Homo-oligomer: A and B are copies of this chain.
């Protein structure tokens, strides 16, 4: 254990420096076949907020990834149609455009792929299949024209791929620039407090930035679709394994069924982490200071002191960005149409 810890520390010290930390880019990565256009953003925003995309009209993308708040839902795990609970917490949608893969287990290679999943997940939005989603969209004349406007070259614009493209395009606008850290790293040395600067140095010294690196603090230089998966716990055996049930969900292994992927997870962003309690894939940890303690122990084998935890939490608070003002979409009406909840 001590050897492992030393190796991690060594690796951290040689592979990163403060200057390896980067501000949030102005430009989001965008697939060649889905350039951002205002019509797609507008359509995507309508779809994102529309509970009619769920079987009984109760759940929209925004229900679990609330863009009026932290981009998640403040709950340990997501809640879908008919009050059903999911097995994992809802990751924030803010800055998810910078993630190289999506979902906790990285099973979607793009925001487009991700957007298709919850629609037909029986415990999320509960639609029986994508054809039924498209059938419903076709019942709403305002959507049909909005799809045509957003995808003018397509003969048959209303289809599931375009629906996912529109939602992904809207999500690419959901970025939170100008955190105190971003301002600091761009040269404003007064943007962070002395404690936050101590915290920033500490996370490098002890090795957090071995994994939490790059402009979104979840990996450096990754191509879209290429995951940065890490074991959590890296060092099993602490009391936290049982206390917070860290081992029962096998993470990436559930996708690949490879033993090497057991309890591996996509490294999540640190941006706005001070707002996205509760923490980890199962939402079992309620506070950020406890999350920092857990990470120190399970990933680095360290019992962080209270002052160390405070300094790191202070730094993590410097990663809260500016949330842009948005206009509400006006959803196209369904005239003579009733969503009949299932029995």
Interface residues of A, Cβ cutoff 8 Å to B: 49, 51-52, 56-58, 63, 66-70, 73-77, 79, 81-85, 274-275, 277-278, 283, 286-289, 323, 325-331, 333-341
Question: Which of these, B69, B75, B333, B338, contacts A76 with CB under 8 Å?
Answer: B338
Residue of B with least CB distance to A286: B338
A275 touches B333 (CB 8 A): yes
B83 touches A278 (CB 8 A): no
B323 touches A325 (CB 8 A): no
Known: A56-B75, A83-B81. A69 touches B331 (CB 8 A): yes
Q: A51-B63, A68-B331 are in contact. List 8 more A-B contacts (CB 8 A).
A: A57-B73, A68-B330, A74-B337, A75-B341, A76-B338, A274-B335, A286-B338, A323-B330
CA distance A334 to B84 in the complex (A): 23
B338 touches A67 (CB 8 A): no
CA distance A335 to B69 in the complex (A): 12
Question: Which of these, B69, B277, B328, contacts A338 with CB under 8 Å?
Answer: B277
User: Can you list 7 pairs linking A and B with CB atoms under 8 Å apart?
Assistant: A57-B74, A66-B331, A85-B341, A277-B336, A288-B335, A325-B330, A327-B328
B335 touches A277 (CB 8 A): yes
Known: A327-B327, A328-B326, A331-B68. A277 touches B337 (CB 8 A): yes
B338 touches A283 (CB 8 A): yes
CA distance A84 to B82 in the complex (A): 7
A275 touches B341 (CB 8 A): no
The smallest C-beta distance from A96 to any residue of chain B, in angstroms, reads 18
The smallest C-beta distance from A283 to any residue of chain B, in angstroms, reads 7
B residues in contact with A339, CB < 8 Å: 73-75
Q: Which of A63, A81, A336, A339 neighbours the largest number of chain B CB atoms within 10 Å of its CB?
A: A336
CA distance A122 to B59 in the complex (A): 20
CA distance A288 to B329 in the complex (A): 25
Residue of B with least CB distance to A288: B336
Residue of B with least CB distance to A276: B333
B75 touches A57 (CB 8 A): yes
A334 touches B277 (CB 8 A): yes
B residues in contact with A325, CB < 8 Å: 327-328, 330
CA distance A274 to B335 in the complex (A): 6
B residues in contact with A330, CB < 8 Å: 68-69, 323, 325
B277 touches A76 (CB 8 A): no
B residues in contact with A286, CB < 8 Å: 336-338
A79 touches B58 (CB 8 A): yes
Known: A278-B338, A286-B336. A326 touches B323 (CB 8 A): no
